[in-house]
């Protein structure tokens, strides 16, 4: 019973961090389920993605009240990330657990290093360049092309690895579309609602979701997401990114060592 109650605590802490960072939380949930609860990787990814639906919904609700979501841009991303997530979930059910574990661990290490380099180089002052509006972004052909191609790959990674896809969606919006980090994280979580739902649908058909664990985690992440969304404006994006990178690196290395 205590182990199950700890899921709510884990979920609460994860909800705070992922809401601020604009990711779904699978980078934390999958290692927790595999290390502490002896889940197979495919069951962990399926349960994680289901939990992420609730986390993303809770964060979206709070960010919508803060008027930080670019809905049109988010929907353009979702148009390809959702099918990508479904396909990724299908692929995950047809490869070995060891290979999936190694893929997930390697993915975390690569993302951690990329994020660390990005935030180390980032200047303290925010860019003063003019930020395009939501309508201006979706009218640009470049936006459509970027969102179509990279959105699909973000969705594929989401379904394959049990993550929300924000790890790829946030960089797409900040680096490729020029959105400030606070707008990118909020819009990312809105997009993740569709991505996670699509991926979970395939996992549901495969019978891989543990709904008891998903709901217990969600009970914590939903509350934590509200706290994280409220705190996000008060914490330095640079410092948060560096801490986040370190956590990703540790989780990725541990996952790789488990399946080597």
Range name among 105-119, 196-210, 227-241 with the lowest pLDDT average: 227-241
Buried b (16+ CB within 10 A) or exposed e, 143-152: beebbeebbb
Of all residues in the chain, the percent with pLDDT exceeding 70 is 92
Residue 236's SS3 state is: coil
Q: Are 249 and 38 in contact (CB under 8 A)?
A: no
DSSP secondary structure code for residue 140 in this structure:
S
The backbone torsions φ and ψ at residue 165, rounded to the nearest 5 degrees and listed phi first, read 100, -10
Q: Could you give the CA distance from residue 173 to residue 178 in angstroms, rounded to a whole number? A: 6
**What is the model's pLDDT at position 204?**
94
- The model carries a pTM of 0.82
Q: How many residues does the chain have?
A: 260
Helix intervals (H) in 66-96: 71-92
* Number of neighbouring beta carbons within 10 Å of residue 176: 14
Of all residues in the chain, the percent with pLDDT exceeding 90 is 34
**139-172: per-residue pLDDT in tens?**
888 888 888 888 898 888 888 877 777 777 887 8
Q: Could you give the CA distance from residue 18 to residue 223 in angstroms, rounded to a whole number? A: 12
Q: Could you give the CA distance from residue 184 to residue 31 in angstroms, rounded to a whole number? A: 26
* Among 82, 58, 49, residue whose Cα is nearest residue 169: 82
Instruction: Give the pLDDT band (50/70/90) at residue 244.
Output: low
Integer CA distances (angstroms), 138 to 59, 83, 141, 184, in order: 23, 20, 8, 14
Give me the mean pLDDT over the 167-190 stretch: 83
Average pLDDT along the chain: 84
Higher pLDDT, 257 or 193: 193
């Amino acid at each position: 019973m205590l182990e199950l109650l700890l899921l709510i605590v884990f979920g609460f802490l994860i909800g705070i961090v992922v809401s601020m960072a604009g990711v779904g939380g699978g980078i934390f949930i999958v290692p927790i389920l595999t290390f502490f609860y002896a889940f197979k990787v495919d069951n962990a990814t399926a349960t994680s993605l289901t939990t992420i639906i609730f986390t993303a919904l809770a964060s979206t609700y709070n960010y919508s009240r803060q008027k930080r979501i670019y809905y049109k841009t988010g929907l353009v991303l979702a148009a390809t990330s959702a099918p990508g997530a479904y396909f990724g979930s299908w692929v995950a059910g047809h490869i070995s657990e060891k290979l999936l574990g190694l893929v997930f661990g390697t993915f975390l290490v690569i993302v951690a290093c990329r994020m660390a380099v990005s935030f180390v180089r980032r200047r303290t002052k925010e860019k003063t360049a003019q930020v395009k509006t939501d309508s201006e972004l979706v009218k640009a052909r470049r936006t459509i092309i970027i969102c179509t191609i990279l959105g699909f790959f973000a969705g594929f990674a989401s379904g394959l690895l049990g993550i929300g896809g924000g790890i790829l969606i946030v960089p797409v919006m900040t680096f490729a579309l020029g959105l400030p980090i606070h707008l990118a994280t909020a819009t990312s979580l809105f997009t993740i609602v569709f991505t996670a739902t699509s991926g979970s649908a395939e996992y549901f058909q495969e019978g891989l979701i543990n709904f008891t664990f998903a709901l217990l985690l969600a009970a914590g992440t939903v509350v934590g997401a509200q706290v994280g969304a409220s705190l996000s404006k008060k914490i330095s994006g640079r410092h948060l990114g560096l801490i986040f990178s370190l956590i990703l690196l540790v989780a990725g290395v541990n996952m790789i060592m488990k399946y080597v």
